[in-house]
Amino acid sequence: MIEIIPAIDIIGGKCVRLSKGDYNRQTTYSPTPVDMARMFADAGVRRLHLVDLDGAKASQPCNLRTLEEIASLGLLDIEWGGGIKSRAHLEEVLSAGAGHAIIGSLAIKQPHLMEEWLGEFGGDRIILGADLRDGKVSVNGWLEDSESGIDDILNRFLPCGLQEAIVTDISKDGMLRGPATELYVDLTHRYPGVVFTVSGGISSADDIRELDRLGMRRVIVGKAIYENRITLPQLAVLIAEE
């Protein structure tokens, strides 16, 4: 079964979800990130996708205390995204308890650092984060678009040891209308050496089972859980199928 990775997006220390990456279309949820992490762990989750949306906007990690609190539970393998713009930021995130660092904007703007970190920390800890809008990679918390396409960055970093990539179709994110399935099937077929994580649009358990049927290996689920399209008991059943 495909590995299910729940998402916790943080603004001001609270769980939020954005629609299409728009900070002005924000929904805040009542459980704290730490409480949410505990509930995910109780459901059998092993890996957590933790995103510092404040950090993505500020170009530096802003919610490291939350990362430390969740990591201190000792229950989850955490992948962290948002605000990693320098080696110091990367070291702060890893020291605070993240097992994996997602590098997005920096991989586009300073690719030599991404290459260096892949070589030093390994492709199992440094994950490429590619957020796509109209075929181009978006940067700085989805606030601006680059001229690079997904193939440009994959081909650049594969020789450096890239193993994992989280690819988000921004047009699908938070919309609960299903993922960009064809995109992920195509990428998986053309780049068999990379583990792609499906991100954006998951609306139901059926979406997850269809991705599993198509051979996808990982999927991030966010709003569908918070809006009870996938309940925690249903999540536990899906994870048990893994």
What's the mean per-residue pLDDT of the chain? 92
Q: State percent of the chain over pLDDT 90.
A: 78
Distance of CA 76 to the CA centre of its chain: 15
First to last CA, the chain: 4
- Catalytic: 42? no
Digit-coded pLDDT (tens) for 9-49: 999 999 998 776 678 788 898 789 999 999 999 999 999 99
Question: Residue 144, CB half-sphere, CA atoms under 13 Å: how many?
Answer: 8
Residue 187: what are its φ and ψ, rounded to 5°? -65, -45
Range in 86-90, 141-145, 201-205, 206-210 the model is least confident about? 141-145
Q: What is the pLDDT of residues 74-99, one digit of tens each?
A: 999 999 999 999 999 999 999 999 99
Tell me which of 22, 52, 77, 131 is the catalytic residue: 131
Collapsing DSSP states into helix, strand and coil, what is residue 205?
helix
The position carrying tokens 């988000």 is 168
- 123 Cβ contact list (under 8 Å, min separation 6): 161, 162, 163, 164
Beta carbons of 103 and 134 less than 8 angstroms apart: no
Closest CA to 78 of 104, 103, 105, 51: 51
Is 131 among the residues known to form the active site? yes
- Examine the pLDDT at 189 and tell me if it is beyond 80: yes
Check 9, 169, 173, 212 and give the catalytic one.
9
Tokens representing residue 216 in the block: 């996808």
How far is 157 from 43, CA to CA, in rounded Å?
Answer: 35
Q: Would you call 98 helix, strand, or coil by DSSP?
A: coil
Q: Which domains are present in the chain?
A: 3-240 (3.20.20.70)
